[in-house]
Structure formats: structure tokens, C-alpha cells
Amino acid sequence: MITKNFRDMPLKSKIELIIVSCVLFTSTVAFLSFHFISKEHKKVLYQTVASNLSYSASEICTNLQAVEELANMILSNKTVQLELSAIEDADSAREKQRAKDDVYNILANYLFNSTNQYISYISIVQDSSIISTHSIRINKIPAEIRDRLIQTGKEAEGATIWITDYTQEYGCFLVKELRESTPFSLRPIGTLIINLNLSTLLKQTTIFHSSYEAPSFLLYNDDKNIYSSQEFQENDVENLYSSFKTKDYCIKNIGHIPFFAVKGQIPLYKWDFIAMVSYDSIAQTITVTSMVCIFAMLLSLFTVFLFSSKILHALTRHFEILIKKMHLVGDGIYNFTKTSEDYGNRKDEIGQLHTHFDSMAHKLDTLITENYTNELLKKEAQLKALESQMDPHFLYNTLDSINWRAKSLGSEDIVQITTALGNLLRISLSNTKTPFTLAEEIKLLENYMIIQKLRYPQRLEYTLNIPKEYNCLLIPKFTIQPILENAIRYGLEEMSEICHISICAVVENHVLIIKVKNNGSSFEDHLLEKLETQEVQPHGFGIGLLNIHKRIVLSYGKEYGLKLINHEDDLSGEEYAIVQISLPAVSQENKNSINRKTLLEE
């Protein structure tokens, strides 16, 4: 019922209904999309950024534990124990130096085999003696700082101590007093100092885990700044600390640059950290989210468009059918294919248009059938009457007279020419519908070559190699002769030497292949294709190559036709032009069993 009512509505009302529906649907989707964006984007951003930055803090903790494990490995190394004790007990300088070299090699091996690129150097201090993987770096540390590191390690009595007072200038230090591990002896044998570059550590732990740019870090302990990855004003840092009293994240301007900051704690070490990323990078995420919503809106509009197109197509297809009918009438076709739509029962404008147009086309068809067809038949009769007025026997009799006159005068050349020309005219003007065989085409070629060899007695050589068993095969009339004529013309035209022309035939897989070969000329690349597209204009005498090719294709199909080949002889190096003709190998006896359009041209 609804479908019928909509179908019978005026076209204007239908379009108005579609427009209103589209606007309402688009407005609803746009409102819901933007409402969802404003409600959810902050929550999603905080969860994403905070998760990445907290993971970085866990990675920092893991790397610090790895350094502590390295310190314990050095302490427990038997060679280190023996050599450090030997340095303490050795009397000769040579023995002490040997022991120091052994310890150095072990420390260097630990350092360079470690994947922890943030370890700057490893040193062991014994009284005034220092064994270090990078002596220059440890010597840059002021003596009073170095003495404090050693004193702090001694006071810890073997415990691992992290010293962060000099992190910004000299890095973070792990200090551990080394003691003998022999029974009944815990004698101190040196102080282990491992220096860490916190900047490298932080870059290594965050480079793979942040979806945004590399974060900036503030490390502090009991409100005492341990390390900051970039310089901040003191009041900016204090304001930042105060912002985390009620929540774990905030957006804060530092130096007129907005940052998204997350507060956390490095496990086990009780170091507080503030990780910050530029809010510009987060703004990019907001932009992406907005783009997603825009995409959703565009998708909804596309859906509306698709739905509207379906409805409009249901309307306009009837007009398209009407336009096609108009084109058919313009082309002279007045009987239309019936469609599933019965326009006679429709009450709207579309039904009335189709009904009246069909009636008009039927009346036109009746008038043309009765008048125009009769006029064509009349003209055809007139043409046949004109054709019947030309009697080909007049031409034969004239040539026959010339022939007898030439014989009486003893002019053998004229006799041959008139005889050959008469045969050619008889075959050309023949209007019979009997099949044309290869033998008849060969006879036509022989008469044609008689005339040509008399014209060019010293410059033309011609050979014909076609087995006699092929004589019964059917071939369209005047297929080989025009090609032979072109071969003579272009072969003699482009050189002064003797023109050699050969014609041969072979049957392969029920296909008759005839080749016309001549020297002295060659074909342009893709000549047939260029002739078909009119890129090259055909020229020459008689029936051109393109016409012969089209006639064969129309008669037998696209698998047959002409093929133009340029061939260079391997022995003489002379270039030959070859026209290859492909035809179905059909004899007169079995021609009725072959499915083709036509076999004979008059």
C-alpha cells in the first residue's frame, strides 16, 4: 500500500520527501558524533599517556636493578677478589700493576659486554689508586666529591648506595664498599663506583613505549630535585609540584608551553617522578579523533546519498528507458523490447509519457513500413535496370579482335597481353555464386603475371609453390592478387635490382597459410593496427591490405586474416617483406559443415 502511494505521488513531492529525510538523518548523526567527542577524548588521552609514562617508570626501575646486579657480580667475581687483595698485599710495583691490569680487563669486559648503554664507567678506588674503565671521566670529578663518594660507601659497610646529589652535573652514582669474601675476613679491599648517565637511561627506557614525543622527566626525592631532562625555572617546578596534591595528572604551562604531566613513583627506590609530554602532541590526537568523527559523518552522508540514489534511481530509470526509446526511434528502430514494467496501468506522469510515446512510435513504424520501404524497392529496381544495360561481351569481343589482329601481324607480346587481360576481365566481371577455389585464384595470378613480366622482363622473377592437392580449397576471390600487385609495385619502386617474388602455401591444423614474399621493401611496425585506427592513411592500387584483412575477419572470424612480417635472410642479409594469409582449410565438398559467416565473395 505504501509503495503504491509513493509511486503515484507527483515527482516534486517525491524529491521533497527525499531532501527532508536526508537533512534530518545527517543532522542527527552530526550531533551524536560531536557529543561523543567532547565527552570521551580526555578520558582516553589520559589513560593512554599515563599508561605509557608509567611503563617508562617501571623500565627505569628494572634498569637500576640491573646495575645493582652488575655491582654484585663484580663483588662476587673471584678474580676481582684475588687481584684486589694482591694489590693490597703486594710489595713490588710490578706485581701491583699486573693485578690492576687484570682488574681493569674484568671491569672493561663487564662494561662493553653489557647492553646498558647508560653506564658511563666503572671504577674501583683503593686508597689513592684508581682502576677505571674511563680514567679521564672519573678524574674530571672534583677530589672532594670523589672523597665523599668513597666515605659514603665505607659508612654503608658493604650496602649498595645510590648518590643523586650530583646527578645534573656528573650523573648518578652507585657506591659499594668491596670486602674480602674469604673465611674469617671481611677486610675492605676497595670502593666500587658505577656512574650512570640518567639522560641516556631515560631516552632508552622511553623511546619504544611512548606514542607521543619523548617525554621530559623530573626526578625528586622528598621534594629534593634529583634530575631534570631540561632546565625549568624554580617557580615553574614548585607550581608543578603543587598541581599534584589533588590529582595524578594535569595540563600545565611551563615557559608558555603547555605540557601534559603525570606523577608517579619509581618502584623500590621511592623516587618520585613527573613525566611530561608537550600538549601539542596530544592535540594531534584530538585532531585525529575529530577526523574520525568527521569520517563518521561523511560515511553517514554517503549512506544517505546511497539511500537517496536508490530512490532516485527508482524514479529516473523510467526516464532513462524513455530516452533509450527515443534513441532507438532516431536510429530507425520502432519495435521495443518489452520490460517488466506495465506503464499502461500507471497513473502518474511517467506512465502517461511512456504510453503516449509508445503509441507515437507504433504509428511511425506503420508509415515507414508502407511508404519508405516501397521507395527503397523502387530505387533498387532502377539500379538493376541500369546495371543490366552494360554487356560485358562487348569488352570480350573487342579484346578478341585485338588478339586476332596481333596474331595476323605476328606480334606475340600483344597476343599474350590481350589473352591474359581477357581472362582477367572474365574472372573479374563474373557474377556467379559458385564457390571460388584456390586453383581459380592461381589462374588469375598467372594471367596477371603474364602482363607484369612483359612490362618488366629483366627486373621481375616470380615463383609459385602451391601443391596441387590444395587447388580444391575455397578462398575469397581476389585475395592474393592485390597483395601480389602491391609487392610488385613497392619492390620495383624502392630498388633498381631484380625483384624476387615467391608465393607458397601450406596447411597446418586445418588452417591454410599462404605467404607472399618479396625483396626490396619492408612494412612499417604495426601497420595493420595503424591502418585500422587511421593513424596511417591507406594508399596504393586495387584492394588494399586493410580491406582484405577486414573481409577475411568478417567472413571467418578474428583468428584468421593477414599478418605482416619483416624477415632478414641469415645468409645474404637481404630484407624481405612477407604477407601471411590465414584461412580455414575448407574444400568445396565439406564447405556446408563449417560454421562461418560467408565463404564466397562475388
HEC letters along 94-124: HHHHHHHHHHHHHHHHHHHCCCCCCEEEEEE
Average pLDDT over residues 584-595: 67
What pLDDT score does 505 carry?
A: 95
Higher pLDDT pick, 398 / 88: 88
Average pLDDT over residues 184-192: 83
What is the CB neighbour count within 10 angstroms for residue 125? 21
- Computed over every residue of the chain, the mean pLDDT equals 78
What pLDDT score does 458 carry?
A: 82
Dihedral of CA atoms 4, 7, 8, 14 in degrees, nearest 10, equals 130
Residues constituting the chain: 602
Average pLDDT over residues 410-434: 70
Q: Does the structure show a pLDDT above 90 at 503?
A: yes
Most confidently predicted of 10-14, 300-304, 480-484, 568-572? 480-484
Q: What DSSP assignment string belongs to 164-186?
A: -TTHHHH-EEEEEEEE--STT--
Q: What one-character DSSP code corresponds to residue 201?
A: H
Phi, psi angles (nearest 5°) of residue 591: -65, -30
Question: To the nearest whole percent, how much of the chain has pLDDT over 90?
Answer: 11
C-alpha 444, offset from chain centre:
57
Q: Does the structure show a pLDDT above 50 at 304?
A: yes
Q: Does the structure show a pLDDT above 60 at 210?
A: no
What pLDDT score does 199 carry?
A: 82
**Cell, residue 405:** 589482329
What pLDDT score does 49 carry?
A: 63
Indicate the pLDDT class of residue 379, thresholds 50, 70 and 90: low
Indicate the pLDDT class of residue 562, thresholds 50, 70 and 90: very high
Q: Does the structure show a pLDDT above 80 at 548?
A: yes
Q: Does the structure show a pLDDT above 60 at 601?
A: no
What pLDDT score does 507 carry?
A: 93
What pLDDT score does 389 carry?
A: 42
What pLDDT score does 182 carry?
A: 72
For the chain, domain boundaries: 48-282, 334-387, 458-470+481-593
Least confident of 225-239, 353-367, 373-387, 532-546: 373-387
What pLDDT score does 431 carry?
A: 55
Q: Which residues are CB-neighbours of 259 under 8 A, at least 6 positions away?
A: 216, 251, 252, 253, 276, 277, 278, 279
pLDDT, one tens digit per residue, over 455-490 is: 888 888 889 999 999 999 999 888 898 888 888 888
Order of strands across the sheet that contains 172-179? 129-132, 119-126, 188-196, 172-179, 161-163
Q: Does domain 458-470+481-593 have CATH number 3.90.25.10?
A: no
Q: Answer yes or no: are the C-beta atoms of 123 and 138 closer than 8 Å.
A: yes
Q: Which residues pair with 473 in a beta bridge?
A: 587
Q: Which CATH class is domain 48-282?
A: alpha beta
Over the Cα atoms of the chain, what is R_g?
52
What pLDDT score does 383 carry?
A: 47
pTM attached to this predicted model:
0.43
Higher pLDDT pick, 393 / 135: 135
Taking Cα atoms as reference points, which of 284, 245, 235, 279 lies closest to residue 261?
279
